[in-house]
Amino acid sequence: MLYPWRGEFIIGSKDSQIAIDTLSSSFDFPKEKVAIWGQHKTENLGIEKIVANVVSNPNIRYLILCGEEVRGHRSGQSIQSLHVNGIDENGRIINARGAVPYIENIPMEAITRFQKQVEIIDMINITDKEQILAKIDELASEKKPSFGQPIVVQFVEREKTSQMKSLSGKISLHKDLLVDPYLDVEEMEVIT
Amino acid sequence: MKVETIEATKHKRMTKDPHGFFVIFLDQGRSEIVVEFYESVIKDEKSKKKVGTGKLGLVVCGTNAEALCHTISREDLVTRFDHASYLGRELQKAEVALRNGLKYEQDNEVVMRKPRKK
C-alpha cells in the first residue's frame, strides 16, 4: 500500500522520484512532477511518518528539504541527521538538535532503507518557490532506477468482535440507556 | 436555594495525561478526521532530564466528533477530565472544519471565512 501512514500531505505522481518536506512553510507544486509533499512540524512523529511513507514508494529517490526550519523542533536538521547518522540504542537520532528527536514507531529496517533509498537535497530555509521548482526540474533530469520492493508499515483494521473492551461490551452513558461499542442503542432498565 | 456561581478560569499549568496524547488532523483525500493515539514513552537522558515521545497505539477515524469521543472513551484512552474536555473541543473544531472545507490545525483556532458581500 502506498503511503500507509495517513497525514496532511499532498499526493502527486507515484512515478515521480521526488518527495518534498516543506518544513514549516506551505507550498503547492505541480502534481505531475512531485510524488508527495507536505509540511513537517515535529522531530519525532513527523520524521517517522515521512520515513514510513517514503519507503513505501521505491520510486522516490530524492527528498528535498525546503521552507523555513521549524523553530525549537529543528525538524529539518533532525531528519538530515537521521539520514546521515541513524539512531543510538535509545532511539535518539544521533546529533539531532531538536528537543525530542526519538524514533519509536518504525523498525530499523525502514530507517536503513530510507538512508539508502533517498538522497537528501538540503534547501532548508529556502522559501523561493522558483528556486525549488528549478531544483525539481534538475532532479527530474537525473533519473535513478526504482529502489526495488517497497517496505510497508502495516496498519491493520481491527475486527469488530475484538473491539469490545469493558463492561461485557456495554457502556452506560445515560441512566436508562446502554450503548454497545458500535453505538447501537437499546433501552434498558434503569441502572443505579 | 443557594447555588454558588464562580468565574471560569484556565489552568495555569497543563498536566500531561499519563496514558498518552493525541495527534488530530484532517485527511482531506478521504474527508475524514484522523485521531492518532500515542502511549507515553519517557526517555531518560544522561543529564537526567526526562523527555517524552509516543508509541502509536491506535488510530481512530471518522467524520463525527461525538462518535470519535465515544470511541476514545470506550477504549479507555484518556484518564484525565481536562484531557477529555480538551479532546472534545478539538474534535468538534475538526468536525466544523471538515464540514465547511476549512483548515484545521490542532491547538489553533479554525478560521472562518467571512461571507462575501453581495
Q: What is the DSSP string of A125-166?
A: T---HHHHHHHHHHHHTS-----SS------PPPPGGG---S
* pLDDT reported for residue A179: 36
Which residue of A183, A184, A185 to mutate against B (max B Cβ within 10 Å)?
A183
Residue type, position A53, single letter: N
Q: B42: pLDDT confidence band, cut at 50, 70 and 90?
A: confident
A121 φ/ψ angles, rounded to the nearest 5 degrees: -110, 110
DSSP code of B53?
E
What is the average pLDDT across A166-183? Answer: 36
A28, A63 contact by CB (below 8 A): no
Q: Do the strands B32-44 and B20-27 form a parallel or antiparallel pair, or are they unpaired?
A: antiparallel
Alpha helices in chain B (DSSP H): 65-74, 81-100
> Where is average pLDDT lowest: A109-113, B25-29, B49-53?
B49-53
Q: Cα separation of B32 and B98, whole Å?
A: 7
> Where is average pLDDT lowest: A2-16, A28-42, A92-106, A156-170?
A156-170
> Where is average pLDDT lowest: A17-26, A147-156, B70-79?
A147-156
Q: Which residue has the higher pLDDT, A177 or B41?
A: B41
Q: Which residues contact A41 (CB under 8 A, 6 or more apart)?
A: A24, A70, A73, A75
For residue A176 the three cell numbers come to 436508562
Reported ipTM: 0.84
Beta strands in chain A (DSSP E): 10-11, 18-21, 36-38, 62-67, 119-124, 171-174, 177-179, 185-187
Taking the model in full, what pTM does it have? 0.83
* pLDDT reported for residue B51: 73
Check if A165 contacts B (Cβ < 8 Å).
yes
* pLDDT reported for residue A165: 39
Q: What percent of chain B has pLDDT over 70?
A: 90
For residue A137, the distance in angstroms to the closest alpha carbon of chain B comes to 27
What is the average pLDDT across B103-114? Answer: 90
Check if A45 contacts B (Cβ < 8 Å).
yes
* pLDDT reported for residue A121: 98
Which residue of A42, A105, A158, A178 to mutate against B (max B Cβ within 10 Å)?
A105
Q: Which residue has the higher pLDDT, B1 or B7?
A: B7
| Residues of B within an 8 Å Cβ radius of A | 23, 25-30, 34, 38, 41, 43, 51-56, 59, 61, 67, 70, 73-76
Of A53, A3, A55, A13, the residue nearest A34 (C-alpha): A13
What is the average pLDDT across A128-144? Answer: 96
The per-residue pLDDT of chain B, averaged, comes to: 91
For residue B110, the distance in angstroms to the closest alpha carbon of chain A comes to 16
Pick from A7, A104, A163: CB nearest B41:
A104
What is the average pLDDT across A126-147? Answer: 96
* pLDDT reported for residue B29: 87
Q: Cα separation of A138 and A133, whole Å?
A: 9
Residue B107 backbone class (left: φ over 0; alpha: ψ -120 to 50; beta: rest): left
Q: B115: pLDDT confidence band, cut at 50, 70 and 90?
A: low
Check if A8 contacts B (Cβ < 8 Å).
yes
Q: A45 and B23 in contact by Cβ < 8 A?
A: yes
Residue type, position A89, single letter: E
The per-residue pLDDT of chain A, averaged, comes to: 85
Q: Does residue A164 surpass a pLDDT of 50?
A: no
